[in-house]
Amino acid sequence: MKKWQRSDLRLLIISGLAVLLFVLAILGEWLAPYDPLEVNYALSLKPPDNTHWFGTDKLGRDILSRVLCGAKTSFSLTLMMLAVIVVVGLVIGLVCGYVKGWTDHIIMRIADILLAFPDTIFAIAVAGILGAGVFHTVFALALVWWTKYARLTRSLVIDLSKKDYICAARLAGAGHIKILFVYILPEILPKILVNAALDTGSMMLSLAGLSFLGLASQPPSPEWGYMLYESKQFMQTAPWMMFYPGCVLLMTVMIFNLLGDCLRDKLDPKSE
C-alpha cells in the first residue's frame, strides 16, 4: 500500500511538471516579455539582468522570450511526430499481427530494411535530398521510427490472438474489426503508450539535434536546438546564450523520461 502511494505521488508530481511544461508551451507567446524575433543590435549579447532575465543573443533578441516561444515549436513537433509514428505503427502492427501471411512478411521485411538505417543519419540524408526543413526532418524520422511501434504491436497482437478469450469471441461470431478494436487494442494500448511516453524525450533530443545541425527548424523561428547552434560561436564570450536553452532542454527531456518510467510502473508493472 505504502509503495503504491509513493509511486502514485511521484507520478502526480511528474505529471504536474509535464502539464506545466505543456501550459508554458501553449501560453509561451503570451508569457514572453518581448517579441522573440525582434532584432535590436543595441542590445546585442547583453548578459542576464533585470530587464532580460536570460540575457540577449547576438542580434539583441531576448533569450527568455525565445526559450518560451521555442517550447511551442519543440513540443508541437515532437507531439506531431509521436502521433504520426504511433498511429501508423499501431495500425500496421495490428494488421500484420492479425492477418499474418504474405502481408505480414512483406511489411516486416520493409520494416527490417528501414531499421537498418541509423535514424539520425537517415534524417540527414533525407534532408539532403528533399532540403532542410521541419516537415522533411519529421517525415524522415517518422519513416524509421514507425517500425518500432509496428513490430511491438505485431508481437503483442500475435501473442493475444492465441488467448482463449479471443478464440471465444471468434466462435461467438465477432467480426475482425470488433476483435481488433474491442478485444485486442485496449489490451495493448497501455504498453504502446508507455513506450510513446518513454520515447518523447529522445524524440525531442533528436529533433533538437537536427535543428542544431541546421536541418530542421530554420531561422528566425526560435527552437531550442537551433538556439544552441547559434550560441556555439559565442560559447565562451556569451555563455548565457547556450546555458538557458540547454538547461530547458535538459529539464524537459528529464521530465518526460521520468514520466515514461512512472507510467510504465503504473500501466505495465510486469516490465518494471
Partner 1 sequence: MKKLWKLMLCFFLGGTLVACGDTPEERRNHLNAAMFWISTTLDPASNYDGWVLSRIGVGETLVKLNENYEVVPGLADTYEQINATTWHLHIREHLNFSNGKAVDGEDVKACLERAFAKNSRAKEYFDLAAVEAEGQDVMLYLNTPSGAVLNNLCEPLFTIYDASQSDDVISRQPSCTGPFVITDFKPEISVDCVANENYWDGEVQLASVHFVQVADADARVLALQNGEVDMVTTIDYSNVSLFSDPEKYSVSEVLGPRCNVVYLNHESPFLQDVHIRKALSYAVDRNSIVALTGGDPAVGLYSTALPYGNDVKNGYPLDLDKANQILDKAGYIDTDQDGIREMNGQNIVLQYYESADHGSSDANIIAQSIQSDAAKIGLSIEIKAVENLSDIKASGTFDMCSANDSTAPTGDPEIFLQLHYLSDASGNISRYKNAQIDALINELSVTFDNEKRQALAKTVSEMLLEDAVNLYVSYLPLNTICLSKVKGAVQHPVDYYMMTKDISIDNG
Closer CB to partner 1, residue 40 or residue 155? 40
CA 176 to CA 122: how far, in whole Å? 36
By CB under 8 A, is residue 44 in contact with partner 1? yes
Is residue 151 within 8 A of residue 168, CB to CB? The reply is no
Closer CB to partner 1, residue 126 or residue 180? 126
By CB under 8 A, is residue 232 in contact with partner 1? yes
- Among 9, 12, 19, 39, interactor with partner 1 by CB under 8 A: 39
**Beta bridge pairs of residue 56:** 62
By CB under 8 A, is residue 237 in contact with partner 1? yes
Burial 130-154 (b: 16+ CB within 10 A, else e): eebebebbbbbbbbbbbbbbbbbbb
Q: Dihedral, CA atoms, 264, 266, 267, 272, nearest 10 degrees?
A: 40
By CB under 8 A, is residue 271 in contact with partner 1? no
Tell me how far, at minimum, the Cβ of 41 lies from partner 1, in Å.
4
**Which range touches partner 1 (CB under 8 A), out of 19-27, 112-120, 164-172, 227-235?**
227-235
How many CB atoms neighbour CB 30 within 10 A? 7
- Among 62, 230, 261, 265, interactor with partner 1 by CB under 8 A: 230
By CB under 8 A, is residue 191 in contact with partner 1? no
**Which range touches partner 1 (CB under 8 A), out of 145-153, 202-210, 215-223, 255-263?**
215-223
By CB under 8 A, is residue 131 in contact with partner 1? yes
**Beta bridge pairs of residue 62:** 56
By CB under 8 A, is residue 59 in contact with partner 1? yes
By CB under 8 A, is residue 41 in contact with partner 1? yes
By CB under 8 A, is residue 220 in contact with partner 1? yes
**DSSP code per residue over 121-175:** HHHHHHHHHH-S-HHHHHHHHHHHHHHHHHHHHHHHHHHHHTSHHHHHHHHTT--
By CB under 8 A, is residue 5 in contact with partner 1? no
Site for partner 1 in 83-102 (CB under 8 A): none
- Among 236, 269, 271, 272, interactor with partner 1 by CB under 8 A: 236
CA 199 to CA 258: how far, in whole Å? 11
Q: Which of 190, 182, 152, 177 is nearest to 165 (CA)?
A: 182
